[in-house]
Amino acid sequence: MKNLLAMIALALCVSTMAAGDELSGALAIFHAGSLSVPMKQIAAQFMKIHPNVDIRIEAAGSRECARKITELKRDCDVLVSADCGVIEQLLIPDYATWNIPFATNEMAILYTDKSRRQAEISNKNWLDVLLDDKVAFGRSEPNSDPSGYRAILCMKLAENYYHRPGLAADMLAKDTRFLRPKSTDLLALLESGSIDYLISYRSLAGQYGLKCLILPNQINLKDPACLPLYQSVSVTLTGRKPGDTIEQRGGVSVYGLTIPTQAPNPAAATAFVQFFLRADAGMAIIEKYGQPSALPSQTSTYDHIPHPLREFVRKPVASKDSN
C-alpha cells in the first residue's frame, strides 16, 4: 500500500509540472458501476493536480451509459465501459471514433458469510446451490449492463461444461425479481440477506469485502485461450434503435474507454484519460482492486486515437490476407 501511494504521489508531481494547471471547468464522466470504488479515488487524485477541474462521475450499466449519450443527448466528456464492445456497438462512428481497451475482469459467484449454504458451495455444486428454492441469487439487467449479459453467457457455458441440458433456461427463470440495472445495485440486497449470491465480476469482491467462488476458465470469460469456446454461446440484446437487436457473442471480459466526439471539455478529458491509463497513476488503482491491465492494447481504431494517448495502444496486426 505504501508503495502504491508513493507511486501515485510521484505521478501527481510529474503531472502537475507537465500540465501547468491550465485545465478548468466541469468534466462529466459516465462509467461502469463495477468501477465505482476505483473511479472515486482516481477522480480525487486527478483533482488534486487540477483543482480548477470539477469532475462529476456518474455510475450506471455501461449500455445505459452509452444510451445517455445516444438517446438522452447528455453531455459526456469520458465514457468508461465494462465492455469495450459497447463503444463499438453503440457509439462508433456517430458519437465516438476510437476505443482503448485497458483492463480485464472475470465472472465469479459473490456471497457473504450470511449466505445460505455458503459453507458448502464449491465448483462442483454451485449450480445446485443457486437453483435451490431456499436460495436466492441476483444478476444485472443484460440490456443495461455487460455484467448482466455476461452472467447469461456464463450460464450457457456452464450448461455445456457440466453437460446439463436446460440448465441456462432454469437459471434464467429463477429469481427474476432480483434483476437490477447494474451489479452494484444488488450489493445492498446481498449485504441484507435478501439475496444469497450475486453473479458478477470478481473485482467487486475486493472492492466490497465479499466472499468469492472462482469459476473454471471455461466459464469465467477470463482466459484468451478459451475465446473459441466463449464465442460458441450468445445472447440477444437491444440494438441502436428501438426494435433493433444485436447478437452478443461470448468473449474475454475487457473494459474500454473513449472521449465522445461532442465532449464539452476535450482538453480536460484527454488529460484525465492520460492520468487514468498511466501505470503509475490510475491503472495502479485499477490493478489494486483486482483488474489486470491490458495496456498497451491493440485497437482497430488506432488511426483515430488522439496522439497524446497513442502510447497506450498498438496498431492491429495486419493479417496475411491483407498483404
Give Cα separations from 120 to 92, 125, 131, 138, 305 (angstroms): 46, 8, 14, 19, 49
Cα 97 from chain centre? 20
Distance CA(15)–CA(11), nearest Å, equals: 6
Residue 199 backbone zone (phi > 0: left; psi -120 to 50: alpha; other: beta): beta
Burial of 91 (0-12, 13-18, 19+ CB in 10 A): buried
Cell numbers representing residue 318 in the block: 495486419
Q: How much is the pLDDT for 22? A: 87
Which residue matches cell numbers 458469510?
113
Cell numbers representing residue 8 in the block: 501515485
Distance CA(303)–CA(85), nearest Å, equals: 18
CB 277 within 8 A of CB 312: yes
Distance CA(36)–CA(41), nearest Å, equals: 9
CB 24 within 8 A of CB 52: yes
Reading the chain (323 residues) residue by residue, the pLDDT tens digits are 544 544 444 444 444 434 445 899 999 999 999 999 999 999 999 999 999 999 999 999 999 999 999 999 999 999 999 999 999 999 999 999 999 999 999 999 999 999 999 999 999 999 999 999 999 999 999 999 999 999 999 999 999 999 999 999 999 999 999 999 999 999 999 999 999 999 999 999 999 999 999 999 999 999 999 999 999 999 999 998 888 999 999 999 999 999 999 999 999 999 999 999 999 999 999 999 999 999 999 999 999 999 999 999 998 876 454 44
Task: Map out the domains of the chain with their CATH numbers.
Answer: 2-104+253-322 (3.40.190.10), 107-236 (3.40.190.10)
Three-state SS for 152?
helix
Cell numbers representing residue 237 in the block: 440484446
Q: How much is the pLDDT for 241? A: 84
Q: How much is the pLDDT for 279? A: 98
Parallel, antiparallel, or unpaired: how do β-strands 297-298 and 100-104 relate?
Answer: unpaired
